[in-house]
Amino acid sequence: MREIIFDTETTGLDNRQDRVIEIGGIELDNHFPTGRTFHVYINPGDRKVHPDALAVHGITDDFLKDKPAFAQIVNELVSFFEGARWVAHNATFDMGFINAEFARLDLPSISNDLVTDTLSLARRKHPMGPNSLDALCRRYGIDNSHRTKHGALLDSELLAEVYIEMIGGRQAALGLMSGQSRGEIADTDETIVPTGQRPHPLPSRLSEADLTHHAALVAKIGAKAIWAKYDPSL
């Protein structure tokens, strides 16, 4: 399964008027980073960067003057994401802007069925929060000390590490983080230890007294005792 962990930076917060000015993406294949990335800055035309947005990402109007318009990079964007899930933190925001840009070019929008929101995942996994990208980096011990401003590619790289942690895939990805390819990992000489049923079951750790007390408890609860559903002898 291909997934693209991505992030956007924009001129402001209103996707009806504001524009995307940066997109960064990291490719995962079955939760393994492949090394393929997508990164582009985009000229927003006559839309200026709002001061509040500038304070977040530091991308100036002057910097964007010689960058391509969205229409000039859209084919490259679609090609990179084709066949993959779109994965973003607070994906409603990013997809709102991406689909607004597509609509301006009369292109079909990306279905929510193809999108994974890591913020929603984090809120289910850590309901007490906080669940910002910085907070999740701290929670999972991911070094983000070099992140002084938001940047689409940098944030995508951090989010990819956070996402792999949240889905329990860090152990599988460790080899890639040290520079190994999936093929190199597959070709290593590993001893396969077969597993199966024990020839003799382990003895019960419950004493006769424990069993007697448990049976008495079940009898006291009566027909509503959940254990009776699994053990007719009770």
pLDDT range class, residue 191, cuts 50, 70, 90:
very low
Flag whether pLDDT at 87 surpasses 80: yes
Specify the pLDDT at position 197. Answer: 63
Q: Is the model more confident about 228 or about 49?
A: 49
55: CB partners within 8 A, 6+ apart: none
Flag whether pLDDT at 225 surpasses 90: no
Q: Is 195 part of any domain?
A: no
Q: For residue 150, give its domain range.
A: 2-168
Specify the pLDDT at position 24. Answer: 97
pLDDT range class, residue 70, cuts 50, 70, 90:
very high
This prediction has a pTM of 0.71
Q: Is the model more confident about 180 or about 105?
A: 105
Number of H helices, E strands in the chain: 10, 5
Q: Is 184 part of any domain?
A: no
Q: How many domains does one find in the chain?
A: 1
- Report the range out of 124-138, 147-161, 177-191 with the highest average pLDDT: 124-138
Specify the pLDDT at position 212. Answer: 84
d(CA 154, CA 140) in angstroms, rounded, equals: 17
Specify the pLDDT at position 187. Answer: 43
Contact 32, 172 (CB under 8 A): yes
Catalytic hit among 146, 150, 200, 213 = 150
Q: Is 48 part of any domain?
A: yes
Domain with residue 158: its CATH number is 3.30.420.10
Q: Is 213 part of any domain?
A: no
pLDDT range class, residue 178, cuts 50, 70, 90:
very low
Q: Which 3 state secondary structure label does DSSP give 109?
A: coil
pLDDT range class, residue 174, cuts 50, 70, 90:
very low
Active site residue 150: yes
Flag whether pLDDT at 186 surpasses 90: no
Query: What share of the chain has pLDDT > 70, as a percent?
Result: 81
Q: Is 187 part of any domain?
A: no
Q: Positive or negative CA dihedral for 119, 11, 82, 176?
A: negative
Specify the pLDDT at position 214. Answer: 79
- The tens digit of pLDDT for each residue in 93-147 reads 999 999 999 999 999 999 999 999 999 999 999 999 899 999 999 999 998 887 6
Q: Is 215 part of any domain?
A: no
Q: Is 231 part of any domain?
A: no
d(CA 31, CA 96) in angstroms, rounded, equals: 25
Specify the pLDDT at position 203. Answer: 75
One-letter amino acid at 21 equals I
Q: Is 70 part of any domain?
A: yes
Flag whether pLDDT at 90 surpasses 70: yes
Specify the pLDDT at position 149. Answer: 64
Flag whether pLDDT at 65 surpasses 60: yes
Q: What is the average pLDDT score of the chain?
A: 86
d(CA 153, CA 22) in angstroms, rounded, equals: 9
Contact 99, 109 (CB under 8 A): yes
Relative to beta strand 2-10, strand 20-29 is antiparallel
Specify the pLDDT at position 194. Answer: 52
One-letter amino acid at 185 equals I
